Structure 1
Amino acid sequence: MRNLKVLAALAAIGALSACNMSSDRDRALAGAVGGAVVADVLDTNVVAGAAVGAAAGALCDDAGVCN
């Protein structure tokens, strides 16, 4: 249960911090860092977490999340 709370907090912080970035590259970098941290906390593949985070960060404004 504690890991779930930590994961939720990290995901929220990562999602909100990427919204203040001005370019897709900056948001992708912030997402990659956030994804890697979350993957490390969950003891899963850090590279895959970074890739998913980078994709989410780069596409968040296109999806209307970071407006």
Structure 2
Amino acid sequence: MNKITKSYTGVILATLLSVSLTGCSHWSKRDRNTAIGAGVGAVGGHVLTNGSGLGTLGGAAVGGVIGHQVNK
């Protein structure tokens, strides 16, 4: 990858990240906790099962449920 392509890639990724985060600004605290729990659970499931798709989905589901129940 040349220098120009790397800089464009960084700009595009930063733009996509900022746009996607503004889409979540109206969420309630419970919605945010559910999304964070699902994300953390997906990463945990992926790591614990050595990249298994089923483990990643299972981790996301369990993490989402736990995140939803926090501060209930």
TM-score in terms of structure 1 length: 0.56
Q: Write out the 4+ residue segments of structure 1 that deviate beyond 4 Å after TM superposition.
A: none
* Residues 10-47 of structure 1: CA deviation (Å, up to 9, x unaligned): xxxxxxxxxxxx51110000000000000011015111
Q: Structure 1: how far apart are the matches of 2:30 and 2:58? A: 19
Identity of aligned residues (%): 34
Pick one of 38, 61, 66 that aligns with 1:51: 61
1:36 is aligned to 42
Count of equivalent residues: 41
2:29 is aligned to 23
Q: Structure 2: how far apart are the matches of 1:40 and 1:57? A: 18
Rg larger in structure: 2
Q: Structure 2: how far apart are the matches of 1:42 and 1:24? A: 26
Report the aligned-residue RMSD.
Answer: 1.3
Structure 2: runs of 5+ lacking an equivalent: 1-27
Q: Structure 2: how far apart are the matches of 1:48 and 1:25? A: 19
